[in-house]
Amino acid sequence: MIPHAGPAGNGTVLVASQFYLPVSAMVANTLWCEADTDCAATPFSRPVTTSSECYCVLFSAALNTSTAATYRSEWTRYCTARPMICPEIAVMRRTAVCVNHACALAPLSTP
């Protein structure tokens, strides 16, 4: 206790000894990670169970590696032969990182 600390003059001064990140309420299984190597930046952002669910692969999403592999496999199975009209755009390559046990896209670096 430090005498005369705080507004009432009888408080205690606490010193932070560790850095903590806030805990998310729930992390979806598709995003769960322990390390950056558990994450992947992938254009296959959602599951496909029929050819009517096919979508254009345009932008990167951050998912854990097993989910990314599953979504890629599903998309390849149902959508490779399906004719789709998708815009041709250049997509910036992104990196996925693990933040507080959830995969996320790393911020774009600026030159």
Residue 86 or 14, more confident: 86
Q: Which residues contact 24 (CB under 8 A, 6 or more apart)?
A: 100, 101, 102
8 inside domain: no
Confidence of residue 3 (pLDDT cuts 50, 70, 90): low
Residue 46 falls inside a structural domain: yes
Q: Domain residues for 58?
A: 36-105
Query: Which range (20-24, 31-35, 88-92) has the least confidence?
Result: 20-24
Quick check: is 25 in a domain?
no
87: nearest Cα among 43, 56, 52: 56
Tokens 């998309």 belong to: 75
- Which residues, at least 6 apart from 46, have a Cβ–Cβ distance to it below 8 Å? 55, 71
Question: Where are the extended beta strands (E) located within 3-110?
Answer: 39-42, 61-64, 96-99, 102-105
CA distance 47 to 35: 23
Whether 63 is in a domain gets the answer: yes
Nearest to 31 by CA among 44, 40, 21: 40
20 inside domain: no
Q: Does residue 13 lie within any of the structural domains?
A: no
Asked if residue 93 is part of any domain, the answer here is yes
Structural domain tally of the chain? 1
Which residue has better confidence, 37 or 10?
A: 37
